[in-house]
Structure 1
Amino acid sequence: MKKRLLIMLLGLVSASLYAADTIIYVSPEADGEALANAVVAAREYHRLHGKYAEIRLTSGIYRLYEPLCLRPEDSGLQLVGSGDTHLTGSVQVKGWKKTGRCYEADVPDFNGRPFDFRQIWVNGRKAVRARSVSDWDKMPSILNYDKKNRILWVPKRAVMQVMKEKKENSKLNLQDNRYEGLELVLHQMWEIGILRVKDIRVEGDSAAVIFHNPEARLQFSHPWPSPMYHSRHDSPFFFVNSLSLLDKPGEWYHNIRTGKLYYMPRKGEDMSTADVEVPVLETLVKITGVLDRKVSNICFDSIDFNYTTWMRPSYKGHVPLQAGMYLTEAYKLHPQIDRQNNHKLDNQGWLGRAEAAIEVDNADRIDFLNCRLEHLGGSGLDYVSGCHYGKTFNCIFRDIALNGFVDGSFSPEGQEAHLPYCPRDVRVVCSHQAVLHNQFSNIANEDWGCVAIAAGYVSNINIEYNDVHDISYTGISLGWGWNRDSVCMHDNYVAYNHIYNYARHMYDCAGIYTLGNQPGTVIEYNQVSDIAHPSYVHDPDHWFYLYTDEGSSNITLRNNWTPSEKYLKNATGPGNIWDNNGPQAPHNTIK
């Protein structure tokens, strides 16, 4: 009854806040500019009459050829779907012809040019980029890791299949790169690395794998997270994106030279009628203001956001530090840096951030109600910087390659990641956001080190009543910085969330994980259970239900139900309160 009343009250608040004076109807049968034209019409209606408009999108698929951009002049706008309304960043591939065990088709140009992509979906189901393993438990492990010469040594048997592609590419005279497009995905503790293969050299029963820059430089210079070798649990790996690997139903390969797409259908798939969606956009919606002139009071209601990609790994590889935040430079320090009140710092690193299907920057009261974010090749919804009072309510996040929901800074690009972040202008800090009653599943299905809900340098965020399951790594990650110094994080609230079946691929994780000094932050009445047990993690015992990591300070954790008290307090600061967590805590608090 309480939950139902809360939903009704939220609905009343939204209805009163977004009362529109006129309605503009948009149909997907119109040209691809219909939605953008409707936004302009609403903008001009407000400019000329001082009144607000609602855009109603009738059911259907709206194929975008560029992101929908909303700016301060669009403040007050509502966009409401009709229950089956899809904003889509993909094109369809048709005209399939059988070729041996596979089918092939020509990929159409997009905006007048050929394009590349990292995902496809067939009849709404994600297909598998051709890879060397189908059973994760049978991934081979690395043999050695030569930092000086930037060589990864692997078993010879692991490269024999991809070396078939070398002969085929040589016949096509594909310049020096005989492994064009081939990638090696490396499991390294709490993250992965996506490394583009430059060459493979067989020596005896081993093979030396050499990678392209810039990721080769980053991979062999960054100390954390590192691959495991000469250990009890050496790091596993697999290859992707070679025609020679396309040998299982559901796999695909795109030859960027010829524009041919190859696919081996799953049982029951008829390629003469199949809906094959290939993503062309990285972002569907961009909401962008400036600190002194923000976007405000925009609501998306009952709209699906589908089919995006993220292409940076295809051009620069992907070597992340944590939560998908990729390194742009990193190296070990000699000697280490003494930090007052913190342990010595042995490395430095600078970070970048992946694209998301929806990106919000310098905007207040931007709400997403009853929406679905599904089939996405980057992250889902990202409140980047300077966002306040936004609400994400009753949305479904599913089948997402990286993070589901992202909020706040994870160190600006020009700031070293371990330094405390306390900007003079606190307006840049995302605050008073609410993430309520959402469902997260099948998140981080490509970058296994990403999380369902990632909140960095934030304050006064409420994360409540979310259902989080089938996650590759951590469920909810709160905080950033790896130090206990005073920063901009405070008064965050994480409660009544149900987190289960997490850590499907990576350990050094938790259902709920924290970093940094967060005065006034409370984590309570959550349920965390059912950790996955992948056989290939770097340390089979290094998983937790609750985990306060480096610098976590002034956080209260109480009344959280977990099957046992398997928690970690790693290099934490002062002021943390642990009270009544474990199997004795209230168990049926989530309604």
Structure 2
Amino acid sequence: MSQIFGKIKSLTIFIYTIGILSVSAQKQITYYISPTGNDTNPGTIELPFETIEKAKNTIAKHNGKNAKNITVFLRGGLYPVKETIVFNNENSGNKNTTITYSAYKNENPILSGGIVLNKWKNTKDGLWQMHIPNINFRQLYVNGKRAVRARTPNIGSYHTNLLWDVKAQEILIDSRLIKPWNNFKNVEMVINMNWAEAFMRLDSYTESNDEAYTWHTPTHARVKVQNPERNLVFKRFYPPKKNELAWYFENAYEFIDEPGEWYYDQATEMLYYHPLANEKIENAKAVIPRLETLILIKGNANVPITNLHFEGITFKHSTWLKPSKSGALNMQACNYSIEPTLGNVQFVERIPAAVKLEYAQFCSFENNIFSQLGASAIDLFDGTKNCLLNYNVFNDISANAIQLARFSDPKTEIHIPYNPKDISAVTEHHMISNNKISDIGKDYTGAVGIACGYGRNITIDHNEIFDLPYSGISVGWGWTSEKNIMENNRITGNLIYNVCQTMSDGGAIYTLSAQPGTIIKNNYIHDVKHADWAGKSHNTGIYLDEGSKGILIENNVIENVADGVPFILKGESVFKNNQGIPNTQVKQEAGILK
């Protein structure tokens, strides 16, 4: 990666030193946990605990009574997480004490929110099946690989013959593409709406040949989706309901037609899987997720969590079940619509994450792996300050890899600037550095590698981000040039490539709204894609969207943008000394280019 960064002239490496609270040198207290341990043990290396819960509760008994640093070593192996592990103020470090949960030496501890399956049976048609009672799930991993929830057309392909009848609240498609499938109302219609996807459960359909639409197909079906999805999608203006968007059906037994696909019949509680050619039933290991959040670190405005650190741990197997229960309409960056308000007035909620921090300061995650997760990976939410995400690996993630800062409160309309009176709630002074992010947005294709809302003094530095369906880094929210809490963010020295592979109207780096003092500098961007069926909006290298102003864009290199438009600016910002393309190749939309 250093050779690639060398293409940037006069690259300046921005060195960030996180201000861990002053901790005096003390003899360290050490505990050990192991999958083969026992919570009645004393927690020594010879007699380790079995669970993190036992370790953190043991620490809580004497925490604050002395000023010694504490390390909990996790031995290698699988740690099933049956309930969210909650760290509160009793489990926090303080100005005199750090608490670290770390992998032991070169071992690989795995925190899994999943259930292991191993009781497959063969069916007469070559599928494997298994009875799984009292659980629903949206992901299946077989022999360490994500399987495909059965869909038509198959993964990598889409239909595009689609029309919207807004007045009737119906979607028109070719009648040959829909049938009265078993468990019809569990089937989902998934539409890629330029920069965001909509998961909508089917309700009914009727065949029709009314003259208004016969130009499109000889006979068509009028499809109704269930509520609340129907009211949401037809009443909101954005993302726009353009005709001929890419779409597919998902979640029916009848869709299983190639190896690697699966379907779970909720009525019979039976899982079906089409094995790959080299898979044998006697040694197939499968996992389904059962938890939305594995780790919750939650302080409060008066007493935030402090000096809590995680190193060398693998986080796996989270989920998100809302799409199965009430649909999910992504509005942008995995913030989904929650109220059917007519027009461009919208209210949203954020997708959950496997690890969430709220009112936490001087905490860190270093050298961890986040993989096979069914929503977002990690969320630095309200009241998080001075935290470090460094040298982590993110891959095989259903939604965003990293999300941080508030976007919109569920009770606040998305265009209203965020200017909280209580500054303790602001997300600020985080360092997101040296992380490797790839293969995210596996289910929710409007996902972003690093999605930052109303944050200030956030540094996103020297990350490698690649193979994404939509944008690489997105900073900002609100679509407004009005004053808000954002300022002095830095997007520097990142390597971003092979992005925007599925969606449109995105960029390797994307911003929204006024954020004075923000710098986009020394980034190398190449191979920004535009799929044939992704919509007609531009994908670009650096995209300063609505309200973006007060930003310096300097010394970036952008190469091989599919649309031939390396920059889009919609606001007042400063642009200078960018390389790889002439400065005149900038699409200026209602902005001032200096």
TM-score when scaled to structure 1? 0.88
In the aligned structure 2, how far is the partner of 1:448 from the partner of 1:12? Answer: 36
Distance 1:60 1:11, change over 3 A: farther
Residue correspondence of structure 1 range 555-570 to structure 2 within 5 A: 555-563=551-559, 566-570=565-569
Displacement of 1:356 in angstroms is: 0.3
Output the amino acid matched with 1:37.
Answer: K
Q: Equivalent residue of 2:63, what SS? A: helix
Displacement of 1:210 in angstroms is: 1.1
Distance 1:35 1:237, change over 3 A: same
In the aligned structure 2, how far is the partner of 1:7 from the partner of 1:560? Answer: 15
Displacement of 1:47 in angstroms is: 4.1
In the aligned structure 1, how far is the partner of 2:425 from the partner of 2:575? Answer: 31
Distance 1:513 1:7, change over 3 A: closer
Distance 1:215 1:322, change over 3 A: same
In the aligned structure 2, how far is the partner of 1:18 from the partner of 1:506? Answer: 51
Displacement of 1:578 in angstroms is: 0.3
Residue number in structure 1 paired with 2:154? 134
Q: Does 1:217 align with 2:248?
A: no
Distance 1:211 1:38, change over 3 A: same
Distance 1:484 1:300, change over 3 A: same
Residue number in structure 2 paired with 1:431? 428
CA contact (8 A) 2:558 2:566 kept: no
Residue correspondence of structure 1 range 367-382 to structure 2 within 5 A: 367-382=364-379
Displacement of 1:73 in angstroms is: 1.7
Displacement of 1:568 in angstroms is: 4.3
Q: Does 1:403 align with 2:408?
A: no
Q: Deviations over 1:414-445 (max 9, x none)?
A: 11100111111122110000011000000111
Residue number in structure 1 paired with 2:73? 56
Displacement of 1:217 in angstroms is: 0.8
Q: Does 1:265 align with 2:275?
A: yes
Residue number in structure 1 paired with 2:212? none
Residue number in structure 1 paired with 2:254? 244
CA contact (8 A) 2:114 2:290 kept: yes
In the aligned structure 2, how far is the partner of 1:365 from the partner of 1:291? Answer: 14
Q: Equivalent residue of 1:443, what SS? A: coil
CA contact (8 A) 1:106 1:261 kept: yes
Output the amino acid matched with 2:329.
Answer: V
Which moves more between the two structures, 266-275 or 86-95?
266-275
Output the amino acid matched with 1:372.
Answer: I
RMSD: 2.4
In the aligned structure 1, how far is the partner of 2:567 from the partner of 2:187? Answer: 38
Distance 1:305 1:135, change over 3 A: closer
In the aligned structure 2, how far is the partner of 1:62 from the partner of 1:434? Answer: 29
CA contact (8 A) 1:546 1:566 kept: no
Distance 1:557 1:153, change over 3 A: same
Displacement of 1:413 in angstroms is: 1.2
Residue number in structure 2 paired with 1:445? 442
CA contact (8 A) 1:122 1:274 kept: yes
Q: Equivalent residue of 1:491, what SS? A: coil
Displacement of 1:453 in angstroms is: 0.2
CA contact (8 A) 1:461 1:493 kept: yes
The one of 168, 183, 201 aligned to 2:206: 201
Distance 1:181 1:30, change over 3 A: farther
The one of 152, 177, 180 aligned to 2:171: 152
In the aligned structure 2, how far is the partner of 1:375 from the partner of 1:14? Answer: 33
Output the amino acid matched with 2:144.
Answer: G
Q: Equivalent residue of 2:59, what SS? A: helix
CA contact (8 A) 2:437 2:464 kept: yes
Residue correspondence of structure 1 range 16-95 to structure 2 within 5 A: 21-30=28-37, 34-76=51-93, 77-82=99-104, 83-95=107-119
Output the amino acid matched with 2:201.
Answer: R
Residue number in structure 1 paired with 2:288? 278
Structure 1 residue ranges (4+ consecutive) displaced by more than 6 angstroms after TM superposition: 6-20
Output the amino acid matched with 2:131.
Answer: D
Distance 1:20 1:546, change over 3 A: farther
Residue number in structure 1 paired with 2:42? none
Residue number in structure 1 paired with 2:586? none
Distance 1:135 1:69, change over 3 A: closer
Structure 1's unaligned 5+ residue stretches are: 167-177, 334-346, 586-591
In the aligned structure 2, how far is the partner of 1:193 from the partner of 1:18? Answer: 53
Distance 1:13 1:319, change over 3 A: closer
Q: Deviations over 1:45-74 (max 9, x none)?
A: 314445342111100000011111101121
Displacement of 1:464 in angstroms is: 0.6
In the aligned structure 2, how far is the partner of 1:256 from the partner of 1:158? Answer: 24
In the aligned structure 1, how far is the partner of 2:359 from the partner of 2:61? Answer: 22
CA contact (8 A) 1:20 1:54 kept: no
Output the amino acid matched with 1:117.
Answer: F
Distance 1:412 1:494, change over 3 A: same
Distance 1:17 1:363, change over 3 A: farther
In the aligned structure 1, how far is the partner of 2:579 from the partner of 2:548? Answer: 20
Structure 2's unaligned 5+ residue stretches are: 6-12, 40-49, 94-98, 210-218, 583-594
Distance 1:274 1:155, change over 3 A: same
